Amino acid sequence: MKKVGLPPIVDGESRRLVLGSLPGDRSLATQQYYAFPQNQFWQVLSTVFGELIDDDYEARKDVLRRHNLALWDVARSASRPGSLDASMTNVIPNALPQFLEANPGIVAIGFNGRKAQQLFIRHFPGICIPSRYLPSTSPAHTVPISLKLQVWRKFLLSN
């Protein structure tokens, strides 16, 4: 089943970009990034930034903006039954070179999971912005949250 992603969350002050692979079914149905309650994305940001993040999506987007964080996905669309990245095929990438050109303040990219990193490397070998792998916030990635937080904190709080 072909699935189409969400538009980016970005503004003129964005300095860091978190790239996922493609939103899961719950996120696509609600048109909200990381809407699946067991995904740890908002919990990780809440812990790292030291603030309670409300369930209200507009409030969540405000947290991203206050911390100069942009959010998008490597894939614009893909075929995928369910929400697991491992079953993605027929990937059409987003227009990341144009996005980065339009948002020159972005100085670092973090990949929320291996699939996002792999897709980026495959589709955008010429993009030379510092980037790093971040352990996936998906509940399918069973690394303890304490280990995820160490890596995410370094990315989110570094100069």
Helix (H) or strand (E) holding 35: none
Alpha-carbon 21 to chain mean position: 7
Which residues in 46-78 are b (16+ Cβ under 10 Å) and which e? bbbbeeebeeeeeebeebbeebbbbbbbbbbbb
Distance CA 85, CA 50 (A): 30
Distance CA 105, CA 82 (A): 35
Q: What is the dihedral of CA 52, 136, 2, 38, to 10 degrees?
A: -50
Catalytically active residues, by annotation:
39
